[in-house]
Amino acid sequence: MNFKEFIFVALEGVRNNKLRSFLTTLGIVIGIAAVIAVIAIGEGGKAMIIGEMEKFGTNIYQIYPNYRDGEYTKPRDFTKEDVEVIKKISPEVKWLSPMKYSRGEIRSSLGKKNARIIGTTADYKLIRSVELARGRFFNEEDDAVGRRVVVLDEKLGEEIFGRDNPVGQRVMLWNSQPALVIGVIKARESQLGMEPDRMAYVPISFMEGSNQWRYVNSLIGSAASKDTVYKAMDRTKLILERRHNSPGHYDSYSMEEEMKTVNKITGIMGLIISSIAGVSLLVGGIGVMNIMLVSVTERTREIGIRMALGAKRKDILMQFLIEAVVLCSIGGVIGIILGYGGAMVVAQFLNLPPLVSWWTALGAFIFSAIIGIFFGIYPANKASKLDPIVALRRE
């Protein structure tokens, strides 16, 4: 018999024993389906998280005091002069802006809301790729003269002004500082379903003049390209350390590092869950071996006839080995279909994009075939070693 005939014989056996074949491959089906579903949902979730992070730009980095090594914020850690020097002598740094954080009540004539208030400069708009729904972001002149202006995020504007246009209206910050609303930042829809914090942005000179937390908390920057992010971070830290005579005082992180961390974590979680799901593949493989041993016992006389007609031991070995591989491969195909279908249902419910690459499906199919080979060798070998005379006597 040639390879094609072996396949036909195996398929004929599956057709003649549909229920037994289905029960035999059930473990393989469940295992492959679980692995495919986990990979699809995991890749979809990772793609969604990375997509959310990329909205803020992949070239972004931040410099702050090295809290991990016991450093703390000092009054002159970051200055406007630092920013200008770094931008001037570092070609890797495209934009750079100081950041001061505060929380306070923002009150209008129609409502009030506690929000996070950020003091920064005009570069922030370029670093974060800020999109405006109305008005404008503050510019260098606003910051130079300490103009009392504020830019609200869209949600905050709706909560304290209702249907009215906030631009051109006045608000009160920190209960005592009046400011003119000059812009509204367009809300960014989050696929993660997280409710963003309410934010307001003011020129950093306005915040300093209002005696709101005189320390600058950090610097936020954007590298000239994705490839120069780490160089821009290192150069920024080096300049700060030299200007302030404080080696090791500064630390940094970048969006690129965040995305690598996400990839690593989701990869580990996917591997762990897939390994757990893979236990059912082991159980399924044992089931295949068990049924193949039963099949060898049931077909002892058939094996004896084949040998009497000239079949060699390797032919008998190949016949039963291919039957095991065909059973597992059929289970693998069904598992791939069910796994992808299950991933689609779960992804629809969680609003995730399910991603199943062709190599994942191919890998699952090949793995199911390998299981067939591994767990089919022993029954096939046992069948090939039967004595033809003893086999022919079997009723």
Residue 377 lies in a domain: yes
The pLDDT confidence band at residue 240, using thresholds 50, 70 and 90, is very high
Asked if 305 contacts 1 with a C-beta cutoff of 8 angstroms, the reply is no
The pLDDT confidence band at residue 224, using thresholds 50, 70 and 90, is confident
pTM value? 0.62
What range does the domain containing 148 cover?
72-247
Q: So what's the pLDDT on residue 193?
A: 46
Q: Are residues 219 and 164 in the same domain?
A: yes
Residue 40 lies in a domain: yes
In the block, which residue shows the tokens 């910051």? Answer: 143
pLDDT digits (tens, 9 = 90+) for 327-344: 888 888 888 888 888 877
Q: Are residues 77 and 178 in the same domain?
A: yes
pLDDT digits (tens, 9 = 90+) for 245-256: 888 899 988 877
Q: Are residues 176 and 297 in the same domain?
A: no
pLDDT digits (tens, 9 = 90+) for 334-381: 888 888 888 777 777 767 665 666 677 777 778 778 877 787 787 777
Given 247, 278, 310, the domain boundary residue is 247
Q: Are residues 241 and 267 in the same domain?
A: no
Q: Are residues 185 and 273 in the same domain?
A: no
Q: Are residues 40 and 125 in the same domain?
A: no
Q: So what's the pLDDT on residue 63?
A: 92
Given 220, 247, 274, the domain boundary residue is 247
In the block, which residue shows the tokens 């699952």? Answer: 364
∠251-254-258 over CA atoms, to 5°? Answer: 115
Burial readout 192-202 (b: 16 or more C-beta within 10 A, e: otherwise)? eeeeeebebbb
Best-predicted range by mean pLDDT (37-46, 145-154, 203-212, 259-268):
145-154
Number of domains in the chain: 2
Distance CA 36, CA 361 (A): 7
More confident of the two residues 68 and 46: 68
Q: Are residues 216 and 274 in the same domain?
A: no
In the block, which residue shows the tokens 């016949």? Answer: 319
Beta bridge pairs of residue 273: none
Asked if 86 contacts 237 with a C-beta cutoff of 8 angstroms, the reply is no
Q: Are residues 239 and 290 in the same domain?
A: no
Residue 314 lies in a domain: yes
Given 188, 222, 247, the domain boundary residue is 247
Distance CA 393, CA 395 (A): 6
| The amino acid at 229 | V
Report DSSP state, residue 108: -
Give the length of the chain.
395
Residue 60 lies in a domain: no
- The mean predicted confidence, pLDDT, of the chain is 80
Distance CA 233, CA 222 (A): 9
Residue 63 lies in a domain: no
Q: Are residues 27 and 157 in the same domain?
A: no
Structural element, H or E, at residue 116: strand 112-120
